[in-house]
Copies of this chain bind each other. A is one copy, B any other.
Amino acid sequence: MQFLDIKEPGFDAKFAALVQRSEESGREVEEVVQGIINQVRSRGDEALVEFTRKFDRVECDAAGLEVTQAEFEQAFAAVDARDLAALRHAVQRVERFHEKQKQQSWLSTEESDIMLGQKVTPLARVGIYVPGGKASYPSSVIMNAVPAKVAGVKEIIMVAPAPGGETNPHVLVAAKLAGVDRVFKIGGAQAVAALAYGTQTIPRVDKITGPGNIYVATAKKLVFGQTGIDMIAGPSEILVINDGSGNPMHIAADLLSQAEHDELASAVLITTDRNFGQRVAIEVERQLHELPRQAIARKSWESFGVIIVSDTMEEAISFSNRIAPEHLELAVENPFEILPLITNAGAIFMGHYTPEAAGDYLAGPNHTLPTGGTARFFSPLSVDDFVKKSSILYFTKGGLERVGADIVRIAGLEGLDAHARSVSFRLDK
């Protein structure tokens, strides 16, 4: 962990170097992934089954890839009633939040001779990628499937690798609760390729969302355009802005909740109170010892943990807007005073009782957020990601007569006569 002063000469460059993490997948990964995609695209199920045998050590034919009704029932039987209730609670709250994002089709009638509008249509079929194995996250299933369901997507296909044949029961239960229609036990670049192009068994989807390792992320990037994808996620990060108020123990816990995700995760505190910063540093050290995932959290904190002291809240806010954090905690006395000044952040956690973990699971907003500074231009995953729009244009003859001369004029400027003629033919006589 580095303790920096925002007034230090070259602070911006120093900070940037500090939190600089992996860029892009290399060309090598890209070539391997492109090879897998080409195989699945040309040979379909045959290639998909081969790769699944090879990478996941699962011996089955294409028909055996789909999770059966019996497997779902076993999963429900295996899950503790209290856990089931918690997952239901999460689905319900996430649903309620995303309902508010729904947009309606509209048609303007303010002109009597021209009507214009926008038709909102759910994507027909989407694919959700869920990482498999032991570290399976039912919350990922919920955060991807619920917005799709709320958007009105007719068929939600989930893929999750089942290394050695095992699927996490919480993930299966979450899939059912969140409205997933079919689940296939496939993963990696081969699963992304199957969703993008379709095979005999796996239906082609219109968009693929959900997190994955570098092979999955690269595959999504390579099929983009053939199918829609959500943003390409990098390592996760948190920035906490503090004014000296609140409890260092809480802030330390929040920083560590980020650090325990991944050795590449980054946790940063900027405070106007040097003493508060020092107490947080001490608390982090103390709490690290108590964590089961201490090794990961320590690596992350040592490599990418930073505590910064700034003179003023303005400096802290301007710093935050420059780095555009994925998670931003406003751990200050009056968070709503600051809210309008925040221009770049994936999610904003207000005040002393809104830890990031609340947003990760069940507050309601999506936990799929733009990372690595991309909150400058990307938004959280939302219902918007599962609909597309079509413009609607309707001219009467009178409407075309009213504005037609200017259409012809601009077509003329652009040297596109056939454009002009398609209008003028309709206006003659």
* Residues of chain A whose beta carbon lies under 8 Å from any beta carbon of chain B: 24, 82-83, 85-87, 89-90, 93, 97, 100-101, 103, 106, 108, 114, 116, 118-119, 121, 123-124, 135-139, 170, 206-207, 225, 227-228, 232, 247, 249-250, 253-254, 256-257, 259-261, 287, 290-293, 297, 328, 335-336, 339, 342-366, 369-370, 374-380, 382, 384, 388-397, 399-400, 403-407, 409-411, 413-423, 425-426
Pairwise interchain contact B124-A363, C-beta atoms closer than 8 A = no
Pairwise interchain contact A361-B410, C-beta atoms closer than 8 A = yes
Pairwise interchain contact A118-B90, C-beta atoms closer than 8 A = no
**Secondary structure at chain A's binding surface: helix, strand, loop or mixed?**
mixed
CA distance A57 to B380 in the complex (A): 44
Pairwise interchain contact B403-A89, C-beta atoms closer than 8 A = yes
Pairwise interchain contact A119-B339, C-beta atoms closer than 8 A = yes
Pairwise interchain contact B257-A400, C-beta atoms closer than 8 A = no
CA distance A239 to B364 in the complex (A): 41
Pairwise interchain contact B394-A389, C-beta atoms closer than 8 A = no
Chain B neighbourhood of A357, CB < 8 A: 407, 411, 416, 419-420, 422-423
CA distance A391 to B361 in the complex (A): 14
Pairwise interchain contact B348-A392, C-beta atoms closer than 8 A = yes
Of A138, A207, A336, A365, most B-chain CB atoms within 10 Å: A365
A147–chain B nearest beta-carbon distance, Å:
12
Pairwise interchain contact B259-A393, C-beta atoms closer than 8 A = no
Pairwise interchain contact A418-B358, C-beta atoms closer than 8 A = no
CA distance A348 to B393 in the complex (A): 6
A282–chain B nearest beta-carbon distance, Å:
15
What are 24 A-B residue pairs whose CB atoms fall within 8 Å in the complex?
A82-B409, A83-B410, A97-B116, A101-B118, A114-B363, A121-B343, A121-B344, A136-B414, A227-B377, A253-B421, A253-B422, A253-B425, A257-B421, A260-B419, A261-B416, A290-B421, A293-B415, A336-B394, A347-B391, A356-B422, A361-B411, A363-B395, A376-B388, A378-B388
A169–chain B nearest beta-carbon distance, Å:
10
Chain B, Cβ-Cβ closest to A347:
B391
Chain B, Cβ-Cβ closest to A328:
B390
Given contacts A393-B350, A400-B353, contact A410 B253 (CB under 8 A): no
Chain B, Cβ-Cβ closest to A394:
B350
Sort A-B residue pairs by CB-CB distance and give the 4 closest, nearest first: A228-B377, A365-B391, A350-B394, A347-B391
CA distance A254 to B257 in the complex (A): 59
Pairwise interchain contact B360-A417, C-beta atoms closer than 8 A = no
Partner of A345, one of B86, B137, B291, B390: B390
Pairwise interchain contact B250-A418, C-beta atoms closer than 8 A = no
CA distance A83 to B407 in the complex (A): 10
Chain B, Cβ-Cβ closest to A401:
B353
CA distance A350 to B392 in the complex (A): 7
A335–chain B nearest beta-carbon distance, Å:
7
A116–chain B nearest beta-carbon distance, Å:
5
Chain B neighbourhood of A349, CB < 8 A: 393
Given contacts A138-B410, A422-B356, contact A375 B347 (CB under 8 A): no
Partner of A293, one of B85, B135, B416: B416
CA distance A374 to B229 in the complex (A): 12
Given contacts A393-B347, A410-B87, contact A418 B297 (CB under 8 A): yes
CA distance A345 to B388 in the complex (A): 9
A304–chain B nearest beta-carbon distance, Å:
15
Chain B, Cβ-Cβ closest to A369:
B391
CA distance A395 to B354 in the complex (A): 5
Chain B neighbourhood of A100, CB < 8 A: 106, 108, 118
Chain B neighbourhood of A378, CB < 8 A: 228, 388
Chain B neighbourhood of A411, CB < 8 A: 357, 360-361
Chain B, Cβ-Cβ closest to A82:
B409
Pairwise interchain contact A358-B86, C-beta atoms closer than 8 A = no
Given contacts A135-B415, A399-B353, A418-B293, contact A335 B89 (CB under 8 A): no
